[in-house]
Structure 1
Amino acid sequence: MSERNSVLTLRLAGPLQSWGASSRFARRTTERAPTKSGVLGLLAASQGRDRGADISDLASLRFAVRLDQPGTRVRDYQTAHHGVTGKSMPVSERFYLSDAVFVAAVEGDAALIDGLHTAVRTPTFLPFLGRRSCPPSRPIDLGVHRGGLWRALRAEPWQASAWFQRRRVRERRIELEVIADLAAGDGPGDAVRDQPLSFDPRHRRYGLRGVRSAAVSVANPLSASRRPFVPPKHEPLRLLEE
């Protein structure tokens, strides 16, 4: 990692999210975690870039996402009519992630990262979680870190909802899955067609990128607040004495 590099971390939380990598026609699926193309699209929109603008600087960023709260996959059917003719359009099948929370991280030149940090704090276009119908439920910005992608993901507190954290209150540390870009020396991984080359709506283009899965350990903020169970005082015979 270059000493001039920084890492921007983003909290992606909302009632619904949808991160498609191979959706076509009337069936719009979602991956189980945010895609690089989707997150870079969010950053480009925050900066106010035109869809036809050059995104080579964003595409060069190293990307990873931590699955803090995987959520539940749900399916929806949508109907529509043509705005001019009124003709019924084909029924579309759309998939979403419900109640999911992720921490996405992008690493790159410090000047570029600082500019993106400013953009997500004061976005030109409102950010959304994969689709325009999926707004975030909490602020996206988590801050800028030094020390590399993996260090940032280990340092960032667990972002899952309190009700989800309470399910694992007996665990002091939580192992969270991370899906990250392959780096030199990482060994074999998987290939996904999720490397954005152009967001131009006339000819969107995506290339292959290598990814690998690993895990990081983070503290459970609720485990430290656990107290041993103390039964309430209950003396039924006192009523007879009175």
Structure 2
Amino acid sequence: MSNNDSRILLLWLEGPLQAWGHNSKFGVRDTLNFPTRSGVLGLLCCARGAGGPEVEWLAQMATQTMEVRAYARADKLGVPVLREAPLRDFHMVGSGYDDSDPWQSLLIPKTADGKKAVGGGAKMTYRYYLQDSVFAVALQVPAAQAEVLTDALKNPVWDLYLGRKNCVPTELIFQGNFDNAEAAWQRASALAGNKQRVLSYSVLDGETDEGEVITLNDVPVQFGPDKRYRDRRVTLVEHSHG
């Protein structure tokens, strides 16, 4: 996963709630069971204070590998406990505002021509969240960017969150800058052990015969108002215990 021209950043994603949407439609905001590539790169953009299209930077990052490992809570025998079901939040957007007040009016959803959206500007949405989840992400980055990204994660320009702004991390996200993936995973394993967590499943780049192959549309080509993505294939590998 690493060579002389790259480094491995270890990110630790832990919090009461996480949301990694990849196929959200209109009023339904879903979440995958693991962090998306677009979500992780978006997190790095927040750390860097980069809010534009970022086309050139994303093109550089598109060739870098990313592996995710999920860690579950363990019982006294070290066996993973059953994962919490996703939380569904019923959410109203734009309701209860006085459109005669110019400031409140800004919070009411509008159509492209500035009129109130269908339903008087109020929208009903359902938002899904992972509960009590922990992920370690080993992200390959170009060596020339490793120190810049390390500094950004240690001193982020904007707040860092786990997919959505209400998903606050409860552990430091940046956990090290390593020569290779093996060293990064040793650090992740030690951290998981301290938290009484055990490896539950992994998400590998590309297709292998080790598990279930999934197609995701989560490789960002352009951020900003006109977001664009392309597909990638990943392999989901379940890990058994005992």
Q: TM-score, normalised by structure 1?
A: 0.75
Deviation, structure 1 residue 175: 4.2
Match of 1:225 in 2: none
The alignment status of 1:75 with 2:78, answered yes or no, reads no
1:84 aligns to what? 105
Q: Which residue of 2 aligns with 1:153?
A: 185
- 2:126 matched residue in structure 1: 93
Q: Whose Rg is larger? A: 1
Name the aligned partner's letter for residue 40 of structure 1. L
| Structure 1 residues 107 and 10: CA distance shift in structure 2, 3 A | same
Identity %: 30
Which position in structure 1 is the counterpart of 2:46?
A: 45
Q: What is the aligned partner in structure 2 of residue 214 from structure 1?
A: 237
| Residues 1:175 and 1:127: Cα distance change in structure 2 (over 3 Å) | closer
Deviation string, structure 1 residues 104-159 (Cα, Å, up to 9, x no partner) = 121132221222111110001111100111111111110011123x5533552254
**Equivalent position amino acid for 1:98 in 2:** Q
Paired residue for 2:219?
195
Alpha-carbon shift at residue 161 of structure 1 (Å): 8.7
Q: Which amino acid aligns with 1:75?
A: R
TM-score (norm: length of structure 2) = 0.75
Alpha-carbon distance between aligned partners in 1 of 2:173 and 2:84, rounded to the nearest angstrom: 18
- Deviation by residue 1:78-115 (Cα, 9 ceiling, x = unmatched): 11326418645121001001111111121132221222
Structure 2 residue matching 1:95: 3-state secondary structure: strand
Rounded Cα–Cα distance in structure 1 between residues aligned with 2:178 and 2:238: 19
User: 1:154 & 1:60 partners in 2: Cα distance?
Assistant: 24
1:58 counterpart letter in structure 2: M
Are the equivalent residues in 2 in contact too, given 1:190–1:212 (CA < 8 A)? yes
For 1:95-110, what aligned pairs fall within 5 Å after superposition?
A: 95-110=128-143
CA separation of 1:161 and 1:155: change in aligned 2, threshold 3 A: closer
The one-letter code sitting in structure 2 at the alignment partner of 1:73 is P
Alignment match, 2:27? 26
CA–CA distance in 2 between the matches of 1:158 and 1:30? Answer: 28
1:57 matched to which residue of 2? Answer: 60
Query: Cα offset for 1:5?
Result: 1.7
**Does residue 141 of structure 1 match 2:144?**
no
- Can you give the 5+ residue segments of structure 1 that lack an aligned partner in the other structure? 169-173, 218-242
Give, as a single letter, the amino acid of the residue that structure 2 aligns with 1:51.
G
- Select which of 156, 180, 183 maps to 1:123: 156
Alignment match, 1:15: 16
Return the alpha-carbon distance in structure 1 between the equivalents of residues 206 and 185 of structure 2. Answer: 16
Tell me: CA distance 1:151–1:138, structure 2 relative to 1, closer, same or farther (3 Å).
Answer: closer
